Each structure stands twice: as C-alpha cells, then as structure tokens.
Amino acid sequence: MTDADQPLLQGELRLAGRLDARFFDLLAALALTGSLQKSARVAGYSYKGAWLVLQAAEALTHAPLLERTTGGAGGGGSRLTPEGQALLAAWRTLQARHALFLREQADWLATQPALDTLLKRMAMKTTARNQFTGTVQAVQPGPSTTLVRLALTGGGPTLSVSLTTPAAEELGVAIGQEALALVKASEVVLVTDFGGYRLSARNQLAGTIARVERGAVSSLIGLTLPGGSTVTASVTNDAVDGLGLAVGQPATACFKAYAAMLAVRN
C-alpha cells in the first residue's frame, strides 16, 4: 500500500486502555496453534512477555483466559478458555464495528470539501519545513524546464517553481489547480538590507520576523508574510548575531525557483 492509499481517518482500538490488536493477535494464534510459544512469535512477544500480558489481561477480566492441556501425541499445549474465546469474539466484532464507524466518518468528511482538503494537506508528511498552499496561476512550459506561478491561499505574494517539463507533464500541472510548494528551510536565505543590489532569486518574500528558535549551531527563523503565510529559514547562529535578527524586524526570504518542489492533488 502506498502513502496515497492510506486512509485519511485512522483510529486504534483498545480494550480497558491496554488490550490492543497485538494482544488479540496472540489470542487468535493460540486458538489456531494451541501453542503459547508459537503464538508468542506470531504476535511479536517473547515467551515470557506473552505470559506477562496474559496475566495482566486476566487481572482485568478476573477470569482465566488460557488453560494448559497435558498428554496426547503432541505432549500437551495451551487453549483458550470459554472466557478467552468470548473475549476474542467480542474483539473481532468490535473491530468490524470500529472499521464501519471510520468508513462512515470518512464518507461524511467527503461531503465537506473544504475540511476534507484541509485534512488531506495535513496528512502529507515531508521533511520540508515550508509548505505553501495555493492555486496554479500560470504555467510557462519550455523545452527542458517549466515555470509555474503559484498564488498563495489567503493572498500575499506569488511563488515561482521551476521543474522539468517531463515532470510537469507527468503531474498534469494546469491553471486553477490546487498545489503545494515545498521548500527546505536550508534553501531559504534571509536578507535584511539589499545594499543597492538585486538578487537573481525569483522568490523574494518580504515579511516580519515572528520567531527566533536558537539551537546549538543554527537557529530557525520564522517570517510572517502578508496574507498570513509563514516562511522558516535555517540560519547559523553567527549569522543571527551578525545581522542582529530579532522578533519584529523586517526581512526578506529569498530562494530560487528550482529550490521549491511542486506537489499537486491526484
């Protein structure tokens, strides 16, 4: 299953706050194999760990869940008590009802397009600290590269993203399409005074420093842009001290168009 196939809504089912899917995998394996040693391996427990979790469960249920059998061709083994079988059956029923509940909530969520879109953005996991949400405003294809202009949600400046033309064609980038621009904090250069020079970086976003998070070697600088978007830059502590970066100070976040990655909805 790919990340795109992962359900938007997920939830973990537990009984009494402690008995989870792994524990019931142990019970299910016991019902099939009659061997605690084999069942422990199936559920990812050590033999001792399986005994301990069973004892903890029995303390909660106030009833034995496992009984030992002796004799026979296999030399005996273990089997679930009627209470253990009832608990396993109840878990399977609850699992089915829980899955149905999540599907029903996902169906409701699909009727709320604005909320659904917002949550899907949150579901995307990436190491890039900067994720700019917007709408494709212009697409300028070239022989090898395509330049995409992104109008940010909430207004404010537009972003330029440069990607290969084959990549743009594969993504199906089109005007009016919702998209995300992803930029690593290390790709962002902060400028407080251009000194009469002009930079070649297409993206130059003026804003106000909202936070300075100092680390052992470098600091994370958060810049608030007009419209409410934020940019995070990773800056060495020496540069922070040299520029005197502080909350409330105006600054411009600069990064090249090819430093941004474009993500579009399927």
pLDDT on residue 102: 84
Tell me if residue 215 falls in helix, strand or coil.
coil
Burial code of 112-139, b = ≥16 C-beta within 10 A, e = fewer?
Answer: eeeeeeeeeeeeeeeebbbbbbbebeee
For the segment 28-82, what is each residue's pLDDT rounded down to a tens digit? 999 988 898 888 887 888 889 899 999 999 999 999 999 987 655 555 688 899 9
Same fold, 3-110 and 130-264: no
Segments of the chain scoring below 50 in pLDDT: 1-6
Pick the CATH number of 130-264 from 3.60.150.10, 3.40.50.150, 3.30.9.10, 2.40.50.100: 2.40.50.100
CATH number for the domain whose boundaries are 3-110: 1.10.10.10
pLDDT on residue 40: 87
pTM beyond 0.85, yes or no: no
List of E strands, 4-94: 66-69, 77-80
pLDDT on residue 121: 55
All structural domains of the chain with their residue ranges? 3-110, 130-264
pLDDT on residue 230: 85
pLDDT on residue 1: 37
pLDDT on residue 4: 41
